[in-house]
Amino acid sequence: MDILRYGSRGILVELLQSTLKKLGFYNGTVDGIFGANTRDAVYTFQREFGIDIDGVVGPITWKKLMPYINGTVGNIVPTNMSYSYRIMIMNINDLKRKYDFLSVGSLGSSVLGKELPYIRLGIGPSQVFYSGSIHANEWINSVVLMKFIEDYAIQYEQNGSLYGKNIRELYNEKSIYIAPMINPDGVDLVVDDMSKMSNAYKNARLIASNYPMISFPSGWKANILGVDLNLQFPANWVLARENKYAQGFIRPAPRDFVGYGPLTEPEALALYNFTLANNFKLILAYHSQGEVIFWRYLNLEPEEARKIGEEFAKSSGYILDENVDTGSYAGYRDWFIQDYRRPGYTIETGLGINPLPISQFDKIYQDNIGILIQGATLV
């Protein structure tokens, strides 16, 4: 772990602040800025744990903090900070070590070579699949999915329940596959966990300069090459291209550029191939924002999709959208419904402007815990 001191900034400072807040030593904002309040909290922590009081978070201080980060004491997934790829990978490794019944694998790799992990919950023959953060500035859903994984694991270990369903029973009946972060390069760009000196960052900034009406990097939805991954699937891709070209997105952009053909981007191709390789009865594609559930695609959805969607709406309070054709094509859910004729849902969490503030997490999670359980139990 990097050495942190007064004046440091970034994701690891947020992790430090989040951990100190969990321990009751820090009562400020988790903002990634190592200022006087953070330094004072480090002083207090070092004093309490018998460390030299220098306000610097080096190897010894990190070692003392680590049990409260890796789940040796308390929970693992932080829900009050920005969530980058490296934090997610730390969490996945810690969850797997703590709960050895979790199964972890990879869909493939991103443009920058980051593995795209999935976690399998359960051993049952009936499979469902949930994905998040295919759009970079919708990273809050990665936290939602990771927290669900942790809560599932806790309840399995304790022979407990979530949303009225015994988790050990669910584990034996169903297999829930979760890919929490489909677009890690884009997420790292948005949450400022990418070196501004890197070629990837410089290229993204150049792409964004052609679209000054889109805030950079907060408005970035695409992968690091400027291709919108949710416009990459073979479900009327040509119509999606026509629509987006008409809107001016004719070249790499922070959002809405369809690419030069379907499945040209490694993240989209990995998601496509992973779906082909499994037998998912239902998929949930997590997006933000709007508190709405999309479930229809050109009247190709199966008959049972409405009933399941109504249950989702009831448990979450979200609106079940009834439009048959929203003018949106080439999405992952569109392709799944088109090719499999099985229930597929886009869940739009939260309200506001992306990226949604992490302060919305608690409400979003409570709204969606029912959907996350029902997604497996209703098929």
List active site positions.
329, 348
Coil, helix or strand at residue 113: coil
φ, ψ of residue 108 to 5 degrees: the values are 160, -150
Token pair belonging to 56: 């610097």
Nearest CA to 141 among 199, 182, 109, 188? 182
Contact (Cβ atoms closer than 8 angstroms) between residue 127 and residue 173: no
Coil, helix or strand at residue 116: strand
Q: Which residues fall within 8 angstroms of residue 152, CB to CB, at 6 or more apart?
A: 121, 162, 167, 176
Nearest CA to 352 among 362, 360, 344? 360
Long-range contact set of residues 167-172: C-beta below 8 Å, sequence gap at least 24: 170/122, 170/124, 170/373, 170/376, 170/377, 171/101, 171/121, 171/122, 171/123, 171/124, 172/122, 172/123, 172/124
